[in-house]
Every structure is written in structure tokens, then in C-alpha cells.
Amino acid sequence: MATTTLITGASSGLGAEMARQLAARGHDLALCARRTDRLSELADEIRSAHPGARVEVRALDVDDHDAVFEVFRAFRADFGSIDRVVVNAGLGKGAPLGTGRFDANRQTAMTNFVSALAQTEAAMEIFRDQGHGHLVMISSMSAMRGMPKTATTYAATKAGVAHLADGLRAELHGTRIRVSVVYPGYIRSEMNESIRKVPFIVSTEKGVAAIVDAVEKEKAHASVPAWPWVPLGFALRHLPLPLARRLMG
Ligand SMILES: NC(=O)c1ccc[n+]([C@@H]2O[C@H](COP(=O)([O-])OP(=O)(O)OC[C@H]3O[C@@H](n4cnc5c(N)ncnc54)[C@H](OP(=O)(O)O)[C@@H]3O)[C@@H](O)[C@H]2O)c1
């Protein structure tokens, strides 16, 4: 039976590639983002590659929290049920704290944490009503430990969303509502396209294949790709700070 997956931030990068790879596995898709031209192109591409797939698209700015609830409810009405929600929309802006760029850090905190909370609330409203569902939170390896400089706020938001999901998992243990947290390492996307040298970076296709594999297995936690990010994540968490700092760039 087809599973219906709702993906936020599906217009580029990880979200768009997750849509392609999930469609190839036979899933129906509810896709949203602000750039609807990109969403429509993606939907056409997926429908022609997988004629059996059902793909619906809607405009959504996740920072408009009322709209998050409206769009999620509308997708549920379209499909009858939503089996999985991937909270993926995010941005990577940031500046060292106290350097006059509260605007950038606040925007990151808003979109990556408060708007992720809105998406999680909207997803959980549907899952509680249905009695089943799979929440997938896209966190980051940067959630493993407080990060310096431009990454400080970003890393804090990604640790925050991982904690939201972990709290829900503790609450929902033994029910038919599952919760996964994905911690991607560096994967090529619009977020890092202007940075040429990124350590251990993998292509969008390869990185997302690892994400989709973990999601389909409904893993509670997945650092992806597993090599080198499982050992690096462990090192980041447990090394003394002077050593851990060398891994933080
Ligand atoms: N790439 C990596 O190495 C990496 C590593 C760890 C975690 N992540 C996480 O993966 C997720 C996807 O990022 P990406 O790498 O695929 O970057 P990306 O190519 O820049 O994609 C970001 C997506 O988020 C959407 N988005 C941003 N702000 C939004 C808003 N206010 N409302 C609705 N959608 C919004 C964008 O769509 P519109 O602009 O069309 O709205 C776009 O589809 C993010 O949460 C990111 O933090 C990425």
C-alpha cells in the first residue's frame, strides 16, 4: 500500500531529492515550500518518472504558523491520511553572538526551531487523530555539541528540534506513532553550494539515499551517511573541548 509522505522545504536540496527517492519506492507525496515554480517542476518530473505516483503541491512559508496548520490539514483532506511528515524546511544563516547580527540569528532560530515546532504540532494533530503516523525530524550533526561562531545558533536550533522529537518518542512509546531524528553530515544542497571545500561532503543523491534508508527503517536516531558521521558524532560528543574544537572547523 502506498504511504503518503508530506515534506516541507521540498523545493530544493534534501527535500526535493527525498521526494524523488521516496516516489521511486512507491510513495505518494505532499510537497510544500515557498517557491511553487520549483515544486511544480519537481512534481511534473516525478509524475513522468513514476506514472503511478500521486504528487500534490502547496505553497507554504513555514514562518507563517497559521498557514502551517492550514496547509497540513488541506493535504490530509486531499489524501485522506498522512502517514509520514518530514520536518525539513530550514536555513543555515548565522553570525557569532554579540557581533550585531541578531537579525540573522533570530531568523535561523525562528525558521529552524519555532517553525519546526509549528510543523510538529500540525503533524501531531493529524497523527493523534488518525492513531498512527511517522514524524521525521531533520536535525544536523551540529546538534551533537555546542558549535562556535556562525554555527552557534544553527546548532542550538538543531539540538532543540532533536529534543522535541525525543520528548515525543518518550511520550508515544508503545503507540502506532513513531518518531525519527536524522542527523545529516555535509550533503550538497543550495545551503552549501557556494562553499567549495567542505570536509567529507557527499552528493545530494548519496546523502539522501542514506536518509531515505534510515527513514524507511523508522530508526529512532540516524547519523547519515553512517561513515564517517557515526564515529565523528561520538567524538564530537565525548572528546574534551580542546580536542573537540579541532573537529568544529
Ligand atoms: N545540506 C546539508 O549538509 C545539511 C546538513 C545537516 C542538516 N541539513 C538540514 O536539511 C534541511 C534541508 O536543507 P538543504 O540542505 O536541503 O538546503 P536547501 O537546498 O537550501 O533547502 C532548504 C529548503 O527549505 C525551504 N525553506 C527555507 N525556509 C523556508 C520557509 N520559511 N518556509 C518554507 N520553506 C522554507 C526552502 O524552500 P523555499 O525557499 O522554496 O521556501 C528549501 O526547499 C535543513 O533543515 C537543513 O538544516 C542540511
Give the cell for residue 125.
Answer: 494533530
The pLDDT value given to residue 81: 97
Q: Closest residue (by CA) to atom 17 of ligand 1?
A: 191
Q: What is the mean pLDDT of the segment spanning 13-27?
A: 98
Q: Which residues contact 247 (CB under 8 A, 6 or more apart)?
A: 232, 235, 236, 239
Residue 22 — pLDDT band, cuts 50, 70, 90? very high
Could you count the other beta carbons within 10 Å of the beta carbon of residue 131? 9
- % the chain with pLDDT above 70: 99
Residue 194: is it exposed, middle or buried by C-beta count within 10 angstroms (0-12/13-18/19+)?
Answer: exposed
pLDDT tens sequence across 132-164: 999 999 999 999 999 999 999 999 999 999 999
Q: Which residues contact 67 (CB under 8 A, 6 or more apart)?
A: 60, 61
Between the alpha carbon of residue 213 and those of residues 117, 210, 223, 231, the distances in Å are 25, 5, 12, 19
- In angstroms, rounded to a whole number, what is the distance separating the alpha carbons of residues 47 and 44? 5
Say if ligand 1 is within 6 A of residue 133 CB.
no
Active site residue 186: no
Ligand 1 atom having least distance to the Cα of 201? 3
The pLDDT value given to residue 249: 74
Say if ligand 1 is within 6 A of residue 35 CB.
yes
User: Which one of 120, 157, 191 would you pick to mutate in the ligand 1 pocket, going by the greatest count of ligand atoms within 8 A of its CB?
Assistant: 191
pLDDT tens sequence across 122-132: 999 999 999 99
The pLDDT value given to residue 157: 98
Say if ligand 1 is within 6 A of residue 15 CB.
yes
The pLDDT value given to residue 1: 61
Q: By C-alpha distance, which of 211, 202, 181, 180 is closest to 20? A: 211
Mean residue pLDDT across the chain = 97
pTM over 0.75: yes
- % the chain with pLDDT above 90: 98
Phi–psi pair at 77, nearest 5 degrees: -65, -40
